[in-house]
Structure 1
């Protein structure tokens, strides 16, 4: 189960289709642009005789280019259908090869056929890549504001969001050419059940899902972000997660201040398919990254010295042959040096090591009075940034919900110059993921006293090196129960009959979104040869900023 390979397979088929051979234009929508960009570079696209890549809504602005064919890759939405109908009304290209990223309703196909009056459409196919593959075992449908799904919203927007989550899960199953042997969901979550039931109903209603290997298919596990509102609030210390938390990593791209002009931002690409160093170090701890980047720089400098020894025609020819790779290496070294430098600067400026230590303590340990004192000190500390003060307060309220002095915390946040609309998040996060609504186990309430003592002893023995990595997302405890065949029916009921056999593969979808911390832990599990292979996906990939923005949106009108 590799979602990058699955996505690349379909993109390969589109750009290499023999029926659309020769020079062509590739028309995409907003979603499929991101899908393609994560598995194909611009250079790789151009190598496939793609003359132009543009958005389908922009095609009408061009003069006709009848010497080009058009390969169209879009989501099967009614908005896209209208754009295609308008394009077919006045065709600008010689022929059209249309590829939809998910199952197409028959009514949509009929309208498309009726619009093709000049008979320029040569083929219509379903190529299932209605999601963005970020890592080999991580995907997202890139849907913001999906925390609304876990609230009491009952508007049309919620129904549309729900349908998008369902269609995203179905597309992943189809792209991996698998049908789940069982579908289970978080019992405490109404929306997790809705998604699970709708996915099951669509699988049963459509013969396309009936693959031969159903009995050995994966477990599809539908969870709700509301069951673990802690993980998105924590500071991060592994490369991919840290970049996302401090700089924002969206669709494998982040923005860095320009070294010559700090007010200008440069966009850099961090892709495990296009950057070998990033692929090998995306889960590395921040403390280990400095040495890894130094080795990268040393290797580059060694190459530079070799290039300086040019004394013959043969040397010059060799250099010219190496130059593209050498320049690419130069840009890559510069990118990672700049990233590590900026991350290091932000850690110092924001006093994140100090903040993170308290975050980890509150996420993992019961020590209310000591944590209260330290939190109040940090709320008053000038060196702690306002967003970090808010995160600390929210973590404290979640852990000590029943006894936390919420009103006093709000006053302290006000004194710390936290904006009034941000202080409202204290109540919002308890309504979203408080004890009354989330499932069990977030703060280890299900673990025995002996298990808690063992974990405490382990942390003490491992010492200060592990103080920033004590937290284990709730997801990993859930997957551990899956691996040990101890997932309780009362907490994770099944839509379908559950086989007694332990699943070898699990596809987890988190309504509301996932985090790079969870992705890192899943990658570690997959690498550990535990007998369980996991693919993780969700509505969105959150950092603390996007999570709190979406939380604010979810409760703005409730």
Structure 2
């Protein structure tokens, strides 16, 4: 909101709701091209004598159908000074992360009673607006899976890209750029969605009550403070992908550095040094406030870790990898699982997550065994959180027809890891294999021509290999765009940064319909039959 105020925006209103007229101000309408949003716009300018605003500047987040455009034209055209489609039907969540901000699509994709074609058509259109904003016409591929969602979506995206880039301003067809778009369905890696993560961002969003990136913390006995976790916070950007053990060491060190710098300045008693100190004080206060915030987050995470998460992590890692911390193969998965189910300190969600990891590791279990596990864990009322994974194409009840689910993984035995953080999300393997042109064409199907950067020749990679200034060259680098239908995890988001840092010739961008946390995913899994929630649109009033 502060950014809007700085640009002269005085009020933000919901276009769907009745609001007070401000006839001396012009209004900016940033709305989705839906009938409900258009009706809200028309209502504000129904009669010339009762215009709510002086004029309207209308920006649609996506393509506006002719029927809605004509409705506006016939109702309030004289009040509209500008009407434009800006094609940004996505949220740039982070520098290398985007979301479509449509979590209700999870229901639309996986509920057996919903027509999925309409849902996927919406998702495809939004993905195309991302490509348009990046000025990319990427080659499109999808992962062959049990469900056909990725196949349908990838072909819809390619069709819409062809239409979008049919002609440019000079009347020429825009060819494929040197980037690639890979589309996968959420069932490709169920493990990463339920595992406890110990990197800072993923751990905080899993264990702490952070809503819409807002964290509330206690500054003293009587006051609470709100903090927004985004890329304006330089310290957050620096440490969000680091292991909690590193974070706990790094923050006090930074505090000590600032404290030492401040004391050195205060030791100088000249008038000029005092003036410099006064100028720096807001900066000191801001830095200390930021570090207090992140130390608070880290300590709260560690309180959870010490109380029960540490014990869970060992069992979860063994179940996910099939090996223990010493690299020895787990012989009896049930012996790993049972202590979790019988421990009264663990809540229902923790037990469900452990049961799911057990089932994923076994590629399904018998109906009889599942019922026993549910009884042991005392989660009868939440059993849908387990059983409904079948709608994502993940085997829960084993059968002779069950296809092997475990993909071949990259060898990471030589990588240095923490014992309780040995699991690597599958999407990191996909990113690295794509950059090295190692994706199996039988598993990763092309929907369009393959750009030169990804055809195995290595020609484009060689041209970019020795670039050192990532920021300056980023716009010209081939991009690997990963889209996960059905939600992505914070650990998967982290992988985009790690792979980009390790392979400076390519930029990896990851996106999804929405961002998952384990508990929200399990709630969504249970509520697959509930009605979808519509998204809001807002009008902005500018002086």
> Normalising by structure 2, what TM-score?
0.82
Higher RCO (CA < 8 A, seq sep 6+)? 2
Residue among 252, 267, 278 paired with 2:213: 252
Q: Cα 1:178–1:132, aligned 2, differ >3 Å: closer, same or farther?
A: same
1:493 deviation in Å? 1.5
- Structure 1 residue 508 corresponds to structure 2 residue 482: yes
**Aligned-partner SS, 1:260:** coil
Contact 2:56 2:79 in 1 (8 A): yes
The one-character-per-residue Cα deviations of 1:4-54 (angstroms, maximum 9, x if unpaired) are xxxxxxxxxxxxxxxxxxxxxxxxxxxxxxxxxxxxxx3332222222233
Determine the structure 2 residue equivalent to 1:82: 39
- Structure 1 residue 163 corresponds to structure 2 residue 163: no
Contact 2:201 2:241 in 1 (8 A): yes
Determine the structure 1 residue equivalent to 2:475: none
1:197 deviation in Å? 1.8
The one-character-per-residue Cα deviations of 1:57-90 (angstroms, maximum 9, x if unpaired) are 34x421x323322122122222111111111224
1:311 deviation in Å? 6.6
**Aligned-partner SS, 1:155:** coil
Equivalent runs, 1:1-12 vs 2, <5 Å? none
Q: Cα 1:494–1:555, aligned 2, differ >3 Å: closer, same or farther?
A: farther
**Aligned-partner SS, 1:193:** helix
Q: Please report the RMSD computed on the Cα atoms of aligned residues, expressed in angstroms.
A: 3.1
Contact 2:178 2:452 in 1 (8 A): no
Residue among 463, 482, 489 paired with 2:434: 482
The count of residues paired between Structure 1 and Structure 2 equals: 495
Q: Which runs of 5+ in 1 are unaligned?
A: 1-41
Residue among 406, 417, 434 paired with 1:443: 406
Q: Distance in 1 between matches of 2:263 and 2:440?
A: 62
Residue among 384, 387, 403 paired with 2:349: 387
Q: Cα 1:481–1:226, aligned 2, differ >3 Å: closer, same or farther?
A: same
Residue among 184, 190, 196 paired with 1:223: 184
Determine the structure 1 residue equivalent to 2:414: 458
Determine the structure 1 residue equivalent to 2:494: 520
Higher helix residue share: 1
**Aligned-partner SS, 2:57:** strand
Q: Cα 1:222–1:324, aligned 2, differ >3 Å: closer, same or farther?
A: same
Q: Cα 1:441–1:469, aligned 2, differ >3 Å: closer, same or farther?
A: farther
Q: Distance in 2 between matches of 1:185 and 1:87?
A: 47
Residue among 363, 382, 404 paired with 1:401: 363
Q: Distance in 2 between matches of 1:535 and 1:149?
A: 25
Q: Distance in 1 between matches of 2:9 and 2:280?
A: 26
Determine the structure 2 residue equivalent to 1:28: none
Determine the structure 2 residue equivalent to 1:544: 518
Determine the structure 1 residue equivalent to 2:235: 277
1:202 deviation in Å? 2.0
Contact 2:111 2:391 in 1 (8 A): no
Contact 1:239 1:284 in 2 (8 A): yes
Q: Cα 1:47–1:266, aligned 2, differ >3 Å: closer, same or farther?
A: closer
Contact 1:240 1:283 in 2 (8 A): yes
Contact 1:233 1:544 in 2 (8 A): yes
Q: Distance in 2 between matches of 1:259 and 1:195?
A: 51
The one-character-per-residue Cα deviations of 1:210-250 (angstroms, maximum 9, x if unpaired) are 58763334211111001211111010111111111112555
**Aligned-partner SS, 1:215:** coil
Q: Cα 1:396–1:259, aligned 2, differ >3 Å: closer, same or farther?
A: farther
> Normalising by structure 1, what TM-score?
0.80
